[in-house]
Amino acid sequence: MAENLRRQQIIRVLPKSVQAVLERQGIIFDKLQEIRLRTDQPLFMIYKGEEVMPKGGGKYYVVTKEEVREALEYISHYSLYAYENEMKQGFITIEGGHRVGMTGKAMIEHEKVKNIKHVSSINIRVSHEITGCADDILPHITLHKQVCHTLIVSPPRCGKTTLLRDLIRQISDGNKYVRGCTVGVVDERSEIGGCYKGVAQNQLGMRTDILDCCPKAEGMIMLIRSMSPQVIAVDEIGTIEEIHALEYALHCGCKLLATVHGTSMEEIRKKPIFEQLVKDKRFERYVVLSNRERIGQVEGIYDERGSRCI
Amino acid sequence: MYLKIIGSILIIASTSAIGYWYSTGFQRHLNELQYLRQMLIMIYGEIQYTQEPLGDVFSHLGRRLKSPYMEWFRYMTEAISDRSRVSFSELWQTSVDLHLAERDLKPKDLEELKDLGTQMGYLDTETQLNVLRLYIEKLEINIQTVREGLASKKRLSNCLGVMSGIFIAIILI
């Protein structure tokens, strides 16, 4: 994504005064990871991997309640009501796939979060795709130019979604390891595609159909019935309903790409809802990630028996 | 003598025309209020059905409306996209002044329309729809009031136009 475009997408959702502070700082938006606005607290940024507190008038720039409200107006296009469902989950995806998280007072109805009011903190996470991060893994999860049923196992913040996104792109477009095929993506939290108004802002390939903000179990079945995908991709499976939907997809002849929280094959084997899947050899490949030396480090790739391939 | 007759006819014709123009003003006001109501019903339906942000609502509806409402909605779409104002109410009020001030709406109608902007865009869909519903109801009462007095006001304007012409002509003769 061009620096100027990214700059425009981020700047336009910030309060005018914060925009001026960032302009003075001469920020390169390609190197910007996060901007945090907290009521009555200094403005924070994660820039070039480090925390930065910009100054305004010699002191740290302190964000006011009005500025948080102003940012919220811009983020929601002056239409908070239109983002009710997103706010329930605590974030809104803006143009460019950047994610705006927010906290405040949760409004509860029938023991579920109905909305957030008195928003006091806003965290703008700048979207950064890493295209090509799946290059080393793809040859190990394909066979005769067809993708294998693959489960990516990874602890949080180790790059499983980034890896899944790049796998989807490569499988969808096709290359020397895999024949390009139709990929159906169920993106419950808009993390894979970073959809804005239903259109993926991240590169997911030319044969990809994405179902945004849809519960995974329901979404997988909807996709099979409506779009006949050859591959189905989902992020962070974990409930029994999702496992049932996965099995349904398997019976329908779809190849599966999924991720799950975990640190090793042993841990997956011990998880009650995955135990049977591993025993039944539902998945043909398991990719285990970690952040031991760097984010997204491949700890091992395992076959359907759970034996290490690499 | 002929000049006096021709002059009188001209005076009566002019004042009658003024009276007629004034009487059609009541009709134009009514038409404008009815169009405004129709437009707000469309906004209501669009929000209820699609729950899209206001910028998209204006963009969709702008294509279906007649001038100057079409231009007004285009302006709103662009202004929302540019985030050119701090609050929606500021943006809405500026746009009403810019696009509707010259129309056949009374200052009271414009004020009510501007007030609507202060309640748009925040809270949940239900509240948003209630705000719109309330405004539409208020608009319906205004339309009813204007419609009830319309025939008599039109007749009065027409008569006053003719009568004032005759009156002036008599004085001048």
CB contact under 8 A, A77 and B54: yes
A-interface mutation test, from B43, B124, B132, most A Cβ less than 10 A away: B124
Residues of B in contact with A77 (CB under 8 A): 53-55, 80-81
Q: Is residue A33 included in any domain, yes or no?
A: yes
User: Low-confidence residues of chain B, pLDDT below 70?
Assistant: none
**CA–CA separation, B133 vs A277, rounded Å?**
53
pLDDT at A15: 92
Q: What is the pLDDT of residue B116?
A: 92
Tell whether A231 is covered by a domain: yes
Do A255 and A151 sit in the same domain of this protein? yes
Q: Which of A71, A93, A125 is the last residue of a domain?
A: A125
**Which structural domain, as residue segments, surrounds residue A147?**
138-303
Q: Given this model, what pLDDT does residue B31 score?
A: 92
Of the candidates B87, B123, B125, which has its C-beta nearest A73's C-beta? Answer: B87
A154 and A121 in a common domain: no
A148, A257: one domain? yes
User: What does the pLDDT read at residue A1?
Assistant: 57
In a domain, A46, yes or no: yes
User: Looking at A125, A149, A183, which one is the last position of a domain?
Assistant: A125
B86 CB neighbours in chain A (<8 A) are: 16, 70, 73
Q: What is the pTM of this model?
A: 0.77
Supply the angle between the helices B54-62 and B69-82 in degrees, to the nearest 10.
150
Out of A70, A78, A84, closest to residue B54 by CB: A78
Amino acid A308: pLDDT: 84
Q: Provide the b/e sequence for A192-208 (b: ≥16 CB within 10 Å).
A: bbbbbeeebbbbbbebb
Burial code (b: 16+ CB inside 10 Å, e: under 16) for A13-39 equals: bbbeebbebbeeeebebeebbbbbbbb
State which H helix or E strand residue B49 sits in.
helix B2-50
Tell me whether residue B103 is exposed, middle or buried, using C-beta atoms within 10 angstroms of its C-beta: 0 to 12, 13 to 18, 19 or more.
middle
Which uninterrupted H or E stretch holds A231? Answer: strand A231-234
- Report how many domains make up chain A: 2
- Domain check: are A270 and A146 in the same one? yes
Say whether both A145 and A121 belong to one domain. no
Q: Which of A62, A91, A125 is the last residue of a domain?
A: A125
The pLDDT assigned to A192 comes to 92
Q: pLDDT value at position A108? A: 84
Q: What CATH number does residue A90 fall under?
A: 3.30.450
Dihedral over Cα of A209, A214, A220, A222: its sign: negative
Does A131 reside within a domain?
no
| Angle formed at CA A212 by CA A208 and CA A216, multiple of 5 degrees | 95
Question: Does residue A59 lie in a domain region?
Answer: yes
Tell me, yes or no, whether A308 lies in a domain: no
For an interface test with B, the pick among A73, A78, A92 (most B C-beta atoms closer than 10 Å) comes out as A78
Residues A64 and A158 occupy one common structural domain: no
Does A132 reside within a domain?
no
For B144, residues 6+ apart whose C-beta sits below 8 A from its C-beta are none
Residue A153 shares a structural domain with residue A257: yes
Reading phi first (left if > 0) and then psi (alpha if -120 to 50, else beta), residue B40 is in alpha
Euclidean distance between CA atoms B33 and A35, whole angstroms: 46
Same domain (yes/no): A10, A87: yes
Give the start-to-end residue ranges of the domains of chain B.
2-172
Residues A114 and A219 in one domain: no
The 10 Å Cβ neighbour count of residue A289 is 24
Same domain? For A10 and A72 the reply is yes
Per-residue pLDDT of chain A (310 residues; tens, 9 = 90+): 577 888 888 999 999 999 999 888 888 888 888 999 999 999 999 988 889 999 877 789 999 999 999 999 999 999 988 988 888 888 888 888 898 999 988 888 888 877 788 889 999 998 878 889 999 999 999 999 999 999 999 998 788 999 999 999 999 999 999 999 999 999 998 889 988 888 999 999 999 999 998 999 999 999 999 999 999 999 999 899 999 999 999 899 999 999 999 999 999 999 888 888 888 899 999 999 998 888 889 999 999 988 888 7
CA distance A80 to chain B (A): 5
List own/partner pairs for A290-293 with CB under 8 A and 24 or more apart.
A290/A154, A290/A155, A290/A158, A290/A263, A291/A155, A291/A157, A291/A158, A291/A159
Contact by Cβ (8 Å): B76, B58: yes
- A73 at B interface, C-beta within 8 A: yes
Interface test with B, best of A80, A81, A113, A213 (most B CBs within 10 A): A81
In this prediction, residue A86 carries a pLDDT of: 83
Q: Is the ipTM of this complex over 0.85?
A: no
Question: Positive or negative, the Cα torsion across A27, A29, A32, A34?
Answer: positive
In this structure, the answer to whether residues A83 and A145 fall within a common structural domain is: no
d(Cα B146, Cα B149) in Å, to the nearest integer?
A: 6
Tell me which residue of A310, A246, A252 sits closest to A282, measured CA to CA: A246
> Do the bridges between strand A32-38 and strand A112-125 make them parallel or antiparallel, or are there none, so unpaired?
antiparallel
**Two structure tokens written together for A38:** 């907290």
State whether A115 and B86 contact (CB < 8 Å): no
Q: How far is B129 from chain A (nearest CA, A)?
A: 10
Spell out which residues of chain B touch residue A78, defining contact as CB-CB under 8 Å: 53-55, 80, 87-88, 91, 120-121
The verdict on A180 and A286 lying in the same domain is: yes
Q: How far apart are CA B131 and CA B31, in angstroms?
A: 23
Instruction: Please name which of B28, B30, B19, B13 lies closest in space to residue B157, comparing C-alpha atoms.
Output: B19
